[in-house]
Every structure is written in structure tokens, then in C-alpha cells.
Amino acid sequence: MSTRLARGGRLIDRRKQMSFTFNGKRLKGFAGDTLASALLAENQMLLGRSFKYHRPRGLVASGAEEPNALMNLGEGAKFEPNQRATTTELFDGLAAQSQNHWPSLEYDIGIVNNYAARFLSAGFYYKTFMWPRPFWKHVFEPIIRHSAGLGRAPKARDADRYEHFYAHVDLLVIGGGIAGLQAALAAGKSGKRVLVIEQTAHWGGRAPVDGVEIAGKPADDWISESLAALEAMPNVRLRTRTMGAGVYDHGYVLAYERIGDHQPERDAPRHRLWRIRAARAITATGAIERPLSFVGNDIPGVMLAASLRDYVVNYGVSAGDRTVVVTNNDDAYRTAIALVEAGLSVPCIIDARPQANGILPQLARNLGISVKTGSAIAAVKGGKRVTGVTLCAQAGEGAVTEEIACEAVAMSGGWSPVVHLWSHCGGKLLWDEDHACFRPDPARAPLSHDGAAFVMAAGAANGAFAPSAVLADGLRAAQDAFGTKAEGTAPSANDMAEEPMLPVWIMPQGAPVEKRMKMWLDYQNDVKVADVQLAAREGYESVEHTKRYTTLGMATDQGKLSNINGLATLADALNAEIPQVGTTTFRPPYTPISMGSIGGEARGEIFQPLRRTPIHDWHAEQGAHWEPVGYWRRPYCFPRTGESHRDAVNREILATRGSLGVLDASTLGKIIVKGPDAAQFMDMLYTNMMSSLKPGKCRYGLMCSENGFLMDDGVVARIDDETFLVHTTTGGADHIHAHMEDWLQCEWWDWKVYTANVTEAWAQVAVVGPNARKVLEKLGCSTDISAEALPFMSWIEAKIGGFDARIFRISFSGELSFEIAIPASQGRAFWDALQEAGAEFGITPYGTEALHVMRAEKGFIMIGDETDGTVIPQDLGLGWAISKKKTDYLGKRAQQRSHMASPDRWQLVGLETLDGSVLQDGAYAVADGSNGNGQSNTQGRVTSTYYSPTLDKGIAMGLVLHGPDRMGEVLEFTQLDGGRCKAKIVNPVFFDPEGEKQNV
């Protein structure tokens, strides 16, 4: 059984006991434990089930590379699935649950998949598509869906908060092992801004566990001294629990800081996503040990050799009394030595190499450990935990030579540098024959905007494994980063010469297929040696295709343990060299990061900016039903108690047409265009003539893109000879302003015109209806606003009720109408005064829907309804607003193209159903015959359709083939239920075609 040792554990504090639960069972650990070490100390070997076959799974590793020990953590609003036990720091009260089993971890029904393994071979999912066909939909898919996914999805809203933080540094050092610290020491002396981040809570990486001595002292001493030196540098910042997650173009790096995970009671952001701009980045990210492929290498108790050593040295936890070590290199001997020194038993070291005579093997032999060279594990015995191993020769097919009882197996297939962050932004790799691993190719580093390398790998991440080489490489990386020779030299370390490792991708070498079906490559996704070989036989030569076909490396650990073994297996099956097969793409993040951290502060009220007019709060107080318009919220209507939205809209329209309505039109775009060339510029922007507009007058105009399509409309007011005020649609304000600046800055840079977007400087209120003038006169106008003094389509600056105002006599409703612009700071006060003065006229605030209906009754087009980016003014009967005199305007030439000038373009008409009903929005007018897809031919479509309370019938506008020439003709329009609705083509101006009402 696994247990806590009486002594040892450099990271734990035995005086501080903590209690936690696993599947409801109360367990104990110490401060400094990870959830993994605490579980192992409590003899909890079985931690979960695998994805596909529901095989028992226990710890394999001790860090970020762990594929198996994924937990559901927390409860309710603090629940989160797929949390890695090895990187979860223990805290008092932690509640963990294992995943992917039913009904319980110990007795799992899904294990039946294990016996159906031959039906779940590589690519089984894709094969289910092929045969037998009905099975996919009715049999395979439901089963696969049911068993898919590891953790549960959270149900409650996340109770935590998250944030971002932007940092700009000259050098970012990713990884706080001895390579990273040495690099930071050298770089820090330059005085430049240096940030060092370490994913764990501890500095120094593996060196203290591996017995490294630096400059004659234990590594821990050198690490503390280095940290003290770095902390004393005002230009250096150090962060633990901060993982380098991704490296992107131009030195952009994301780092993931875990603030609240280990202290959930603290009122603090749970995670902070660092968005770093680094001129240079050093990836001192260490290396990951590889498993070996032998039968039963997934049984709980089979662990990576160095990880097993971590549990003993860092946490004082043993995985079992008797541990068999199996290796192809010298490093694993350190585990055997550490175990014996901790008083545990190592029955033997199984070394696949023909001989092992290095310093470490000799040290092991001196401790009395039996070393069996040229040997292999034939099979691991056990179900939910290891009970023993059988041995065989590495060279043969696996004839068992001996059986050894043990509780744990420590395996080492060599080390792979963590090249992820180097690779994210295009860093290329070399195949290192000596260590059978990929390492960064410094000649093909990720390049920054200046063409220079901006990522430098250092230490084990760069393939430097011996401690003195690691330190020297850290120094070298700092020098490369700044392009200068840094001060000082790297200290020496107690390197122990290691003999070459032997690449071993399968154990034993000649294992037959039934054995290869029990050798796991990817523990989380259940991919075995046989699966990759099958993929190769089925023609998958590309490693990227094989990955997707077999799901190798596609689990949440992204193949940190399985990738190299998998592609070596593929290379062998293809009879190719490993570097020719290559690696799959390394993509950010390095390990999964929380969705919360990506969203940062953007949730709840501040998920998105909400733009508010000066009158917004009044609308909210009246219970307005809102309509989002861009980032604005505009009242759609103001329903009274018990009133439906439709009834509210109808009431608002009738009240406005009958007496007095008011609309908050503050969101309308308002852009000042000024300069000696402003009139010329306006003539180019609009299809109609604006230069002839007199100061004090208003004119409606259309704006087209250079491709001729109608993109905005609105009323222009001329302020003075040099100055125009452009009104745009609500959604158009920003992009029309940008459109103007684009032309002024890029094309007509010599024209003397300045623009300014003053949309938000003004509250704008439309005062509409037969009593509009009366209410303004009641408030008190400093000037005459009679029809003679202020005729339709003119404007004036005045005081109304003491408020500073611009009064525009324009109408989008067909009624007598004044649009009053008031400085935004006085907007609410004006609105309140207006409400009071209007009470005697039954003043009725109306929303966007009433606005829409009233403009449709008048046949006015709406950008976004009648236009959709394919419509030109000529389609809308707006030929009158297109100047024939002007030599040019934006869109003019495009509108002369044959298709744009075609008489067969659909044209705007009014539509009236024969029965008075309302046509469906977007409905098509059907034509004779059908197209190649068997669909009805069409000859038009509805662009706007409403019930008109004024006329008490449905009214609509639409674009119809030769429409204006077909007045009175009846067309059939589609309905969602498949039926047809008959409508007659009519004039689009349904109400007051002479314009008598607005012109009073």
C-alpha cells in the first residue's frame, strides 16, 4: 500500500494537518501537500477511470503532465471538473470527486467496454459512420454520447471573479527552475524589466529532488540565495503559481496566475490572466519524463520514476514498500537510490540496455540493489493496483523468465524537453539522437517584428540535462536575449556523468499483437501501441491524421506523456525515421486554463458596454421594453400595466398622430464636418447635392459605399458656410465617422476638412404630432417657431424653456415634428420639463417600434430593413435623391455597371394584403416554375411589414421585379406554414401622400 513515511517531505509542514474529502470519504494531509500526494499518502491508488474502456487509473506523474488524476473539485457555484490532482494544492476542506465512472469508482459498469475493446479500435468512431449505416444514428452515437466527457459540466453560475493584468517587460523568464533563475540573475543585472514566472508554488524545479549541488552547496541554498538576490533587484519581479500558457506573435505571452485556488475563502480573484508584452522570452520550462510501453503499464501503481521520487522527497510519501524500477537510462537509478535511502525496498532495477556501468548504476549496486540489464517487463500483474511484475528479455517476444512481487513500478523511457512554448509561435525542433528527444533548434527560433529571435529556450527545455550545463545554458539564454554578454559566469554543479540511454519504444522489442493491445500510450484517451500500428496499416502516414484517427494526444493533457512514444511507434510502423514523421502541432494553452480567466472581468453587468442616453434612467423607471441597437438600449415601447407590447405600440402611434408623442432620439449619429472644402466633401459623401444647401436649412441625403450600395441615410443641417452637421443612423455613427476619416486621410488628404463625432454631446428629442408646436410654445421659445418663421426642413438655435437648444424641423413620422437637440448634461431636465408641459396634450413617449411603423406608413425606408448591403438607392425609388448634375460621388461609377443599372433589379413598392392581414417578414413573392433545386422561383421579397393602427390593416414594403410598373397586380407571398398570402402592389406611401400633416 502507499503511505506517508515517518520522515522526509521537503515541501510539507507536518505540524499543519488539513482535512479533505475524496468521494465523500474524509482524509487527512499536510500543508504543502498536493491533492495527489495527500491521496497517495492515504493509500488512495485508484483515482479515476479511463475515457474509453473505463480502466482503473492512478497517479502516473507528479506535475502538469499528469494524464489520469483528474477530479471534479468543489461544489455548487465553486464546482469545476477536470482539475489535475498533481497541480492542486491541498487546502482544509477541499472536496474532490473522481470522474468517469458509474455507479461508483470501485464498481464501474463501463468497464465492460474493456472487454469490447476489439470493437473500439483505432478510428472506431469514424468507422461507425460507414457501416452499417443506420447503426450510427440509432446505436453508436447515443452510446458514444452517453460515455463521452470526463468531468461533469458545472450547473451553477461561477461564484468567483477573474481578471486580466497587462504587463510590459524587456524579458519574461518562463520557468523558475535553476535554468530560469540563472537566466534571471544574469538578465536582472542589466537593469531592464524582467519578470520571472513559475507554474508551481515553489522555486528551483527538480534540482533539490535530484540531489544537485551548486557551487558546492545543496541546490536549495543556491535557490534561496538567488531568490534573495533577485528580490533585491528593483527591476525584477517574481511570481509563483503563474504558468506560461501561450506564446504569440510580437512577444505577446499569456500567463495564468492561480490566486484563489489554494485559498478559496479569500475574497480575491480566483485566476488572473497576465497579458504580457515581452521584448524577449526565455522558456526554461524543464523536461517531462516518458513512460515505457509494456503490458499493463496503465495499472495503478505504475508511475514515472522521477515522479515517484518526487513523492518520496517532496512529500514523504511512498507509493509502496517494494518498487521495481524499469528504465532505459541512468536517471531512473536516482529513484532507486532515493527509495532505498528512505528505507524502502527496490527488488530490482530492470534496465533494457545490454549493460549499465555508469556512476549511478554503480551507486545503486553499492546499495545492494539488483540490476538486471537487457531485461524488460513482460507484464504488470494486478487490477486496481500493482501486485507484481513478470520479467523477460528485452530482445525477445516476452517469454517470462521470472516473477517479482511489488506494489509499485517506477518507469523511465527518457526525457522530453518541454518545447511547447518554444513551438507555439513557430519555433522549430531538432531531433536529438543522444537523448532520443526533440529539442529547440536555435537557428529556427520564433521571430519578432524585427526579424530577430524573441524566444530563447534554456536548460532542460533546451536539451541541456546535466546541472552545470543547465546553469550555463540559463546564462547563455540571458545573453542571447539581450544580445550582450551578461556579467558573471554560471556556477558549477556536481554533474554525475550518465551513460547513453537506449531508445526503447516497446517492451519487449518483439512483443506480439495481443501484448501490444495492452500497452498504453495515451492513458487518458485509451490509445495503445496496437491502435497506432493499426492506423499506420490503414494508411495514416501523417502524424496529424494519425492523431485525430486514434485520438492520441487529444485528451486534456494534450499528449504530454504520449506524443513522443506515439510518433516513435508510428515511425516504426511506417519504417521511417522519427524526425521524418515529425511532431503534431503544439498549441496554446500549455495546460488547460479556466474559461473564467479568459473572460476576465467581462461578465454580469460589465460583460459588454451598455450605452445609455441622458434619458435612459427615465425609460428604465417607466418600465420600457428594451431593444438593443448596437451597444445602446432603446425603448421598443412603454407598456402600461397589463398592456401587451403590440397594444402599447398601437397606443403610442395613435396618441402621436392624434395629439403629441415624444421620442428619445439621442442615439442618432451627429458628426460635424467643417472646412473650406467641406461642401465639396459633402457632395462626394452624399448621392445628392449638399453644397447648395443654405445655412439654416436641412436636407435628407443618402450615402453609398464606393461599391454603390446604400449604407446610411439621414438629415444634413448646414450650420454656416464652412460647417455641416451630419445626422447618421444610430448604428452608423461610428463607422460613418470612420468612413469620412478614411477618405480624408487616405484619399483626399489635401482637402481642408475636419470632422468631429459629437453624437454624445447632445440629447435629442423628437416632439411629434399636431400639438408639437403648442407644447414647445408653452415651454417658451426665445424665437418664433411658426410655419412661416421656421418652415419644414429648416433649423434654428434658440432657447426653449430656458434650455439651450437647436430646433430642427424634420419629420420621420409624417407629422408636424421638431427634433430638439439639448446639451447632454441638460437632456434629462429638458425631458422632464417637456413631460410636465405636455401633460395637458396627453404627451406619450413612444419607442422604436412606433417609430418604425410610422415611417413605414409614410413609405420612408429604413437602413437595415429596406437595405441589406446589396441594395442601391435606385432600387428604392430614391432616384430623386441622386444628383444628375454632379460629376462624381462615392458609388456613382459602381452604379453605372451593367448589373447595377439593369431594369430587372427588384424595385421598392408598397404591398397590401387582400384580406388586410400582415404579411410575414422576409416572405418571398413566388413566381412561376421552380429552380434547379426544386424550389419555387421568386420575384420579390418583403422588407418591412407591420400592422398599421392608423389605417387598421397590414402594410408592407418590398422589393419586386419591375414592381413600380405593376401597380395593382396581385402577388402570392410565402408563409412559414407553407401557405400563401395574396397581396396587391401599391404605392409605398400609405399615409398622407401629399405631406399635408408634416407641413403645417
Partner 1 sequence: MSELAISALNEAVSAGPVTVRELGLQGMITLRADLSDKKLASALKALTGLGMPAQRGIEREGDFAVAWMSPDELLILCPHAQAPKLEADLASKLKTIHHLVVNVSDARAIFAIEGQGAREALAKVTPADLHPEALREGELRRSRLAQVAAAFWIEGEDSIRLICFRSVAQYVFDLLAMSAKEGGEVGYF
Binding residues for partner 1, rule: CB under 8 A, are: 161, 163-168, 193, 237, 266-269, 272, 275, 277, 600-602, 605-606, 608-614, 631-632, 672, 674-676, 752, 754-756, 758-762, 801-804, 823-826, 828-830, 833
Output the smallest distance, CB 174 to partner 1, in A: 17
What's the min distance (Å) between Cβ of 735 and partner 1?
14
Reduce the DSSP state of residue 453 to 3 states and report it: strand
Query: Smaller CB distance to partner 1: residue 588 or 675?
Result: 675
The DSSP result for 629-656, as a single string, is ETTEEEEEE-PPTT--HHHHHHHHHHHH
| Calpha distance 680→11 (Å, rounded) | 76
In angstroms, what is the minimal distance from the CB of 680 to partner 1?
Answer: 14
Q: Which is nearer to partner 1, 161 or 202 (CB)?
A: 161
Helix or strand (DSSP H, E) at 382: strand 375-382
Q: What's the min distance (Å) between Cβ of 829 and partner 1?
A: 4
DSSP conformational letter for 743: I
For partner 1, give the closer residue by CB, 628 or 995. 628
Q: Which residue, 88 or 613, has its beta carbon nearer to partner 1?
A: 613
Q: Report the residue number, 559 or 600, with the smaller CB distance to partner 1.
A: 600
Q: Smaller CB distance to partner 1: residue 148 or 606? A: 606
On whether the CB atoms of residues 458 and 280 are closer than 8 A, the answer is: no
> Whose Cβ is closer to partner 1: residue 636's or residue 762's?
762
The minimum distance between CB 284 and partner 1, in angstroms, equals 21
Q: How far is the CB of 830 from partner 1 (least distance, A)?
A: 7
Least distance (Å) from partner 1 to the CB of residue 193?
Answer: 7
d(CA 981, CA 936): 15
Q: Are 728 and 671 in contact (CB under 8 A)?
A: yes
Q: Classify 496 as helix, strand or coil.
A: coil
3-class SS of residue 607 = coil
The CA distance from 563 to 429, in Å, is 14
Our CB check for partner 1 shows the closer of 399 and 602 to be 602
Smallest separation (angstroms) from partner 1 to the CB of 834: 12
- Quote the cell numbers at residue 862: 429604413
- Helices 332-341 and 305-315, interaxial angle, to 10°? 30
What b/e readout covers 332-370, taking b as 16+ CB neighbours within 10 angstroms? Answer: bbbbbbbbbebebebbbbbbbbeebebebbebbeeeebe
Helix or strand run (H / E) with residue 307 = helix 305-315
- The CA distance from 414 to 398, in Å, is 22
Q: What are phi and psi of 955, to 5 degrees?
A: -130, 150
| CA separation for the pair 535, 513 (Å, rounded) | 14
Instruction: Give 701: exposed, middle or buried? Use CB within 10 Å, 0-12, 13-18, 19+.
Output: buried
CB of 781 to partner 1, least distance (A): 14
Smallest separation (angstroms) from partner 1 to the CB of 671: 11
Asked if 630 and 731 touch (Cβ cutoff 8 Å), the reply is: yes
Q: Across-strand partners of 302?
A: 409
Residue 164 or 892: the one with the smaller Cβ distance to partner 1 is: 164
| Cβ closest to partner 1, residue 8 vs residue 269 | 269
Q: Which is nearer to partner 1, 609 or 642 (CB)?
A: 609
Query: Where does 227-322 show beta strands of DSSP type E?
Result: 236-239, 242-248, 252-258, 271-283, 287-289, 302-304, 317-318
| Strand, helix or coil for residue 441 | coil
Kind plus residue range of the DSSP H or E element containing 547: helix 543-550
Three-class SS state of 460? helix
Whether residue 635 contacts residue 662, with contact meaning beta carbons closer than 8 Å, is answered with no
Query: Shortest gap between Cβ of 823 and partner 1 (angstroms)?
Result: 5
Return the DSSP state at 744: I
Residue 763 beta carbon to partner 1: minimum distance, rounded to whole angstroms: 8
Q: Shortest CA distance to 34 belongs to which of 24, 25, 44?
A: 44
With respect to partner 1, which residue has the nearer C-beta, 107 or 166? 166
- Pick 750 or 788: Cβ nearer partner 1: 750
In the complex, least distance from residue 759 CB atom to partner 1, rounded to whole angstroms: 7
**DSSP for residue 425:** T
Instruction: Work out how close the CB of 652 gets to partner 1 at its nearest, in angstroms, rounded to a whole number.
Output: 24
- Taking the CB of residue 855, how many other CB atoms lie within 10 A of it? 19
Q: Is the dihedral of CA 371, 376, 382, 383 positive or negative?
A: positive
Closest CB to partner 1 among residues 268, 914: 268
The secondary structure of 135-203, three-state, reads HHHHHHHHHHHHHCCCCCCCCCCCCCCEEEEEEEEEEEEECCEHHHHHHHHHHHCCCCCEEEECCCCCC
Cβ distance to partner 1 smaller for residue 398 or 600? 600
From CA 360, how far away is CA 7, in angstroms rounded? 24
Taking the least distance from each CB to partner 1, the nearer of 135 and 754 is 754
